[in-house]
Each structure stands twice: as structure tokens, then as C-alpha cells.
Amino acid sequence: MSHASGMIIVNADDFGYSKVINRAIMTCLDRGLISSTTIMANMPGFEEACELAISSRYTDCVGIHLNLTEGRPLLPDLQHNSSLCDASGQFRRFRPRMLSKSDRGMIAAEVEAQILRCRRAGLQLTHADSHQHVHNEPLVLMAIQPVLTRLGIRNLRISRNMDPLPVLSPKRLAKEALNRWISILGFRRTNFFGTVANFQAFRAANRLSDCSFEIMTHPFISDDGALTDHVDDLPLADRLELAFKGLKLSSYAVSSE
């Protein structure tokens, strides 16, 4: 099921990753540059991020940034799984395309632990996405779908689909198939997902009507105090103001009402 036409969600990934990133995301929320964020339950800045969201009354725009590729799992047993973690008990930084039944079970349990940690901290969670888009891997999606459904998380990020790929390219066809599958599984989703640059290109081409969008950002505060995107290493504040000038931003909480 797709969200309402014209809905634009600007999401900051990596809330809870560190104090610097937390401060950058809160600055963006306070200034209205973004409308949503997703939190990492297993990273050092998690508790501070929860406190900031609750004290600033932003809990209705916080989802979960499921993490299976960085840091230490919440579940001790998973730390000893050599397929998913290294010898030090840290998640391996890779996209696990081959997973045993046992691996899938442990992934499901870890995802549930991450969601429940957020809820114990006072965050109900409006939506889900994942660090490094690991939920786009079919076996991972198969493992986590029952958990998300059972725990009432209805909104799920789709695979990035705003890049200008040839119509019949294998990459584009695979993304379209995955996004259809997300809908078939019963999740609510946007029509499009991409970057600020992707959105600017769509807007310039007058392709915004009758569509819903989620745009990802990765706010960071540089050494000179400027807001930047720590993934593409570009200035962020002016780009966001220009890209969404005159447009109303929404959130998954509003879309689910």
C-alpha cells in the first residue's frame, strides 16, 4: 500500500550513532529541515537520542534504523555467530546474501530486541529502515517481516528507486520487484525513495505530482560547526532548504492516521 499523493518525508538516518550525529539531527528537526529520523538501538548514542527525542517531543517522528552490519549486537548469543559477527563480537560490515535457517532466526531475534529496547525507552516507532539498507536483501527481509508485522511496525522503507537507470536494467528490475514485494507483505510505503539530489532532479523535471517520497539524509556537524551529510560529505542545510522550498514535509506518523 502506498502513502498519500504529495507526501514528502525527509528522514535522517543514524540517530543514536554518536553524540555529534544526535546533535546534528536535533538541529535539523528544530529548524524544520527534516521531518523524521530513525534510531540505532545498539550504538553508543542511543540513550541520549531517546532522551532528546522525548524531551523535545519528537517521539512521533522517530522510527528504527535496524542495524545488522555495524557495532555489537544486543543479543550475546549473536555475538558468537561467525557468519554475522567477527571474532571480537562485532557485526561484520557486509550484506549477508546467504543465510542459514539458524542465522535468519538470530537476525529475527536481534531485530525484535532492537525494537523492544526502543519501546522500553519510550519510543513507539513509526516506521523502519535499516543501516546500509540491509533489509533490501531478500533473506533478511524474509527473516524480519514476521517480527515487524507482529510488533505493529507498518511502514517500511523501499529500495532506492530514483536513480536514472535504464528501464530494463537488471538492477532496476530487481529494485522494482523488491518494492512490489514490500507492498505484498502488507507494509505501507512511499512511491519513491532516494537522496536530496534525486529529489531535486525530480522537482526540476516536474515529476512530483501524484507521488509520495522518502528522502534520506545523514546529518553531521563538521569541525567548523557546519551541518553536513556525512555520507556524501556535502553541505546540508542550504541544500535541504533549497530542495524543499515551498513544500510541506510530512512524517510516517501523519501518513498512518
Residue among 140, 74, 162 at smallest CA distance from 112: 74
Give the pLDDT confidence score for residue 256 in this predicted structure: 56
> pTM for the complete prediction?
0.95
Give the pLDDT confidence score for residue 240 in this predicted structure: 97
Give the pLDDT confidence score for residue 91 in this predicted structure: 97
Residue among 131, 179, 117, 124 at smallest CA distance from 153: 124
What would the mean pLDDT of 203-220 be, rounded to a whole number?
95
Confidence of residue 18 (pLDDT cuts 50, 70, 90): very high
Give the pLDDT confidence score for residue 232 in this predicted structure: 86
Q: Indicate if the pLDDT at residue 145 is higher than 80.
A: yes
Confidence of residue 7 (pLDDT cuts 50, 70, 90): very high
Domains and CATH numbers, the chain: 8-255 (3.20.20.370)
What would the mean pLDDT of 37-64 be, rounded to a whole number?
98
Strand partners, 38: 63
Q: Indicate if the pLDDT at residue 95 is higher than 80.
A: no
Q: Indicate if the pLDDT at residue 13 is higher than 60.
A: yes
Q: How far apart are CA 58 and CA 193, in angstroms?
A: 22
Strands 219-221 vs 36-39: parallel, antiparallel or unpaired: unpaired
What would the mean pLDDT of 140-149 be, rounded to a whole number?
98
Q: How far apart are CA 86 and CA 125, in angstroms?
A: 29
Q: Which residues, including other chains, have CB under 8 Å from residue 207's CB and lie 6 or more apart?
A: none
Q: Where are the beta strands (DSSP E) in 96-239?
A: 128-130, 192-194, 213-217, 219-221, 227-229, 234-235
Which residue is associated with the grid cell 522517530? 62
What would the mean pLDDT of 55-59 be, rounded to a whole number?
98
Question: CA angle 86-87-90, nearest 5°?
Answer: 45
Q: Which residues, including other chains, have CB under 8 Å from residue 17's CB and lie 6 or more apart?
A: 40, 43, 44, 45
Query: Which stretch of 10-14, 72-76, 95-99, 121-125 has the lowest confidence by average pLDDT?
Result: 95-99
Q: DSSP assignment, residue 78?
A: G
